[in-house]
Structure 1
Amino acid sequence: MSANDSAMILAERIRAIVGQPILPKPMFGGLTFLLNGNMLCCVSNKGLMARVGAAAESDALTRPFATRCLGAGRPMAGFILVEPRGVSSDSELRAWVQMTLDYVGKLPPKEPKARKSKPRAPKPAVPQSRRVL
């Protein structure tokens, strides 16, 4: 089984545990789940990136196979990276998902951002001699 297959299986396991609508979105080199517009967690071949909040971070870091999540080389406050071995059992994964739901479930819903449209290139000017009247 490939790492990508493992990530997709993990994504399905998370959907089953959450039990409420979550929106999948490709981000962070994996599949990120949004709850009411707020990032809940992300699955990739690296494992699970769990958004637990700054208050729960120290407790989360005491769990096996958990490390601080680095974004652009800097620690991301409230985000924990859990190696695949740390979410291999249903009880381990359920505990991580519950921790994310405890934090993200209390956040106010976010309105979806309007999609930015690409600026259109201006049409080239038609010389007056070629204009059709």
Structure 2
Amino acid sequence: MPYSQYLADRVSQFLNEKNVQFIAKKMMGGLLFMVDDKMYVGVNKDEIMARINPNIYEMSLLKEGCKEMNFTGKPMKGFVFLTDEAIDLDVDLYYWLQLALDFNPLAKSSKKRKSSKK
């Protein structure tokens, strides 16, 4: 299963209800949601990957269904995976989606810079 279309639809519904413009991009078998040209959340299989404020990262990991994102052997502070225990109910999913949305204006853009050749 590449990604849960049901979860993707729930994320889209949240953003539409908030009148937030977004772009959804298929990447590495998942679906990535971009807000203001910055990574917002992703849907990977049946989990949500969320980009939250690093200042609340440690506290967030204590919540049921929240775990560190670790692709390289080193956790990425500010990025969490959310399992079904954290996102099954809309109120719970919306909590995490709002945390990620609140952090988005503070997040650094990962835009690639064009090099200028002389």
Task: Tell whether the structures are fold-level matches, with TM greater than 0.5.
Answer: yes
The TM-score range, normalised by the shorter chain, is: 0.7 to 0.9
CA distance in 1, matches of 2:50, 2:104: 10
Aligned equivalent of 1:30:
30
Which whole-Å deviations, capped at 9, do the CAs of 1:23-49 have from their partners, x for residues lacking one?
111224310101011000110114010
Q: What RMSD over aligned residues (CA atoms) do the two structures have, in Å?
A: 2.3
With normalisation by structure 1, the TM-score equals: 0.73
User: Sequence identity of aligned pairs in percent?
Assistant: 24
Which whole-Å deviations, capped at 9, do the CAs of 1:55-78 have from their partners, x for residues lacking one?
120121121111110122221110
CA contact (8 A) 2:2 2:29 kept: no
CA contact (8 A) 1:50 1:97 kept: yes
Aligned equivalent of 1:42:
42
Return the letter of the residue paired with 1:75.
P
Return the letter of the residue paired with 1:17.
F
Q: Which runs of 5+ in 1 are unaligned?
A: 116-133
Aligned equivalent of 1:61:
61
Aligned equivalent of 1:17:
14
CA contact (8 A) 1:38 1:104 kept: yes
Return the letter of the residue paired with 1:83.
T
Q: Which runs of 5+ in 2 are unaligned?
A: none
CA contact (8 A) 1:41 1:51 kept: yes
CA distance in 2, matches of 1:33, 1:16: 12
Structure 1 residue 4 displacement after superposition: 4.8
CA contact (8 A) 1:51 1:100 kept: yes
Aligned equivalent of 1:83:
83
